[in-house]
Amino acid sequence: MRGPHNILRLIRTGATLERTGAMGLIMDAMDAPPLVRGTLRFLAWPFQWLGYRGDPKQPPALRALSALGPAYIKFGQVLSTRPDLVGDDLATELRVLQDKLPPFPTSVAKDSISQALGRPVEELFDAFSEPVAAASIAQVHKARHRETGRDVAVKVLRPHIERAFRKDIDAFYFAARVIEFLSPASRRLRPTDVIAHFEGVVMGELDLRLEASSASEFAANTSDDPGFQLPEIEWHLSSRRVLTMGWADGVPLGDNVALDAAGHDRVALGERVLQLFLSHALRDGYFHADMHQGNLKVAANGDLIAYDFGIMGHIDEYTRRVYAEILYGFIKRDYRRVAEVHFEAGYVPADRDVDEFARALRAVGEPIFGMDATKISMGSLLTYLFEVTERFGMETRTELILLQRTMVVVEGVARSLNPEINIWKVARPVVENYIKQSIGPAALVRDLGKTMMVLSRYGPRLPMIVENALIQHSSPPPAPAPRNGRKTAALLIVGAALGGGICAAILALI
């Protein structure tokens, strides 16, 4: 399905933006250069008759993205959290895409639930409301469980949503391959890999059983986090297309007027959102990767409530340490160390100049410090970062795409609560605490202890494993003596490793 017929889909995208009047609005909001603005308008104008008309009652940008389908709605959701990029007016307009899209009929939702759970809705729930929220993939109904009397939220996938997403993703694959063919320089950004990553995330979001599992793991990780709540999953009322969880009572995080009326401290909330995200990403390596305002509420006691766990991010321990060292280096303004970490992790080719890279990073980081967020142009900052990465041959790290995107979204949420927030100042205590726990002497002892445990499991077999490896990767010995020498060396290596592990265990006990 990824053939040239997708050209029509891409043309229709531009045509829809032009026909609905969204093209000029988005270009103005993002302050696009005249050449880019003129080129896009010139290419789209002749084909605007191919564009979707959309709902004339909706504003232009909302009208265009809603008409284009769920993948474009996801894009709009990200933009809705970035008033610094698209302006306050457009960000407010796009916020509707988070949970206020047109719903599908309640009767269709009930049929889907009955089919998925094997029992009529009336037997499961005493009450079942009309849709209370509708997003790009699913909609939510409030219900009361017949057996327990608890209020619950019932999430139901939209009909035929899998096919709709597949159509958009196929077009994105085609566009990525065209870009790679026409612009060899773009291949370092690995656009096809980026789309593959997006595809994996979306396909996982379309199986609500995986979302329930993610919510359960996330709850276990964050059970001791102060000021943070998660609704409980009702496993017996969930399936691939239906997810039931406890009802979250609170004020939507995107409603500043309601937050102020309820007496909540928006400055503190903005800091908590950012610090919780960093804590989950660095401490646990498992974080909520869709933390826009539509998925967050504030409880009466001031606790932050998160829900909608369809997109979760995971990063391994080594990558977390690299990411933390990079953040910490920026916070400490130690650009030489930031550059060295990039080289050590293989993010920058080894043949590049580390000092030159450090100077380029200084040009990125220095404008941030001593300034409040309102004086920082994130658009200009991202543009310069792109130029730096291109100049030094850095490739897109697909394992960090979700982390970087979520950081952008979370920063946008925090800024919507407090426009004066300084992300570096807020992030510093979380990053410093992680550095102390994961990179200091205690972490070294802990890592040596883990190594000892692994070696102790395979200890009896290690001499043979090492000897066989040496034999396979070297030429046949001319005489027995060298082989015995290799065997002796292998035994010494194993003995030293085991000895180091034992020392680590002793140190851990002291």
In this structure, the answer to whether residues 363 and 502 fall within a common structural domain is no
Q: Do the beta carbons of residue 300 and residue 250 sit within 8 Å?
A: yes
| Final residue of a structural domain among 390, 422, 439 | 439
Q: Residue 436, Cα to own-chain centre: how many angstroms?
A: 25
| Final residue of a structural domain among 379, 411, 439 | 439
Q: Do the beta carbons of residue 17 and residue 51 sit within 8 Å?
A: yes
Per residue in 137-175, pLDDT (tens digit) is 899 999 999 999 999 999 999 998 888 888 888 877 887
Q: Is residue 394 part of a domain?
A: yes
Minimal CA–CA distance to 234: which of 154, 169, 322, 159? 154
Q: Is residue 108 part of a domain?
A: no
DSSP string, 157-181: EPTTHHHHHHHHHHHHHHHHHHHHH
Q: Is residue 225 part of a domain?
A: no
In this structure, the answer to whether residues 192 and 294 fall within a common structural domain is no
DSSP state of 281: I
Per residue in 417-455, pLDDT (tens digit) is 998 887 778 888 888 888 877 766 666 666 677 677 766
Q: Do the beta carbons of residue 153 and residue 244 sit within 8 Å?
A: yes
Encoded tokens for 213: 């599992």
In this structure, the answer to whether residues 169 and 55 fall within a common structural domain is no
DSSP string, 391-447: HTTPPP-HHHHHHHHHHHHHHHHHHHH-TT--HHHHHHHHHHHHHHHHTSHHHHHHH
DSSP state of 209: H
- From first to last of its 510 residues, the chain has per-residue pLDDT tens of 555 666 777 788 888 888 888 887 777 766 666 766 676 677 677 777 778 888 888 888 888 888 888 878 877 776 676 665 666 777 777 777 766 778 899 999 999 999 999 999 999 999 999 999 888 889 999 999 999 999 999 999 999 888 888 888 887 788 777 767 766 766 665 778 767 777 777 777 788 999 999 999 999 999 999 999 999 999 999 999 999 999 999 999 989 999 999 999 999 999 999 999 999 998 999 999 888 888 899 999 999 999 989 888 888 888 888 888 887 887 788 989 988 988 888 888 888 899 998 998 888 778 766 565 556 555 455 556 656 766 787 766 656 667 777 887 888 888 889 988 877 788 888 888 888 777 666 666 666 776 777 666 666 776 777 777 777 766 555 555 444 444 444 433 333 333 333 333 333 333
In this structure, the answer to whether residues 199 and 327 fall within a common structural domain is no
Number of independent structural domains in the chain: 4
CA dist., res. 313 & res. 286, Å (int): 6
DSSP state of 367: G
Encoded tokens for 499: 């000895």
In this structure, the answer to whether residues 349 and 424 fall within a common structural domain is yes
In this structure, the answer to whether residues 434 and 455 fall within a common structural domain is no
Q: Is residue 339 part of a domain?
A: yes
User: Which sign, positive or negative, has the C-alpha torsion 320, 321, 322, 325?
Assistant: positive
In this structure, the answer to whether residues 416 and 448 fall within a common structural domain is no
Q: Do the beta carbons of residue 279 and residue 287 sit within 8 Å?
A: no
Encoded tokens for 290: 């869709």
In this structure, the answer to whether residues 359 and 408 fall within a common structural domain is yes
Strands of the sheet containing 242-246, edge to edge, are 125-134, 138-145, 151-157, 242-246
In this structure, the answer to whether residues 313 and 435 fall within a common structural domain is yes
Q: Is residue 229 part of a domain?
A: no
| Final residue of a structural domain among 439, 470, 501 | 439
Q: Residue 227, Cα to own-chain centre: how many angstroms?
A: 22
Domain boundaries, position 311: 249-439
Q: Is residue 323 part of a domain?
A: yes
CA dist., res. 504 & res. 451, Å (int): 9
User: Which sign, positive or negative, has the C-alpha torsion 496, 499, 505, 509?
Assistant: negative
In this structure, the answer to whether residues 410 and 450 fall within a common structural domain is no
In this structure, the answer to whether residues 285 and 375 fall within a common structural domain is yes
Q: Is residue 238 part of a domain?
A: no
Q: Is residue 434 part of a domain?
A: yes
In this structure, the answer to whether residues 409 and 299 fall within a common structural domain is yes
CA dist., res. 283 & res. 275, Å (int): 11
Q: Catalytic site residues?
A: 290
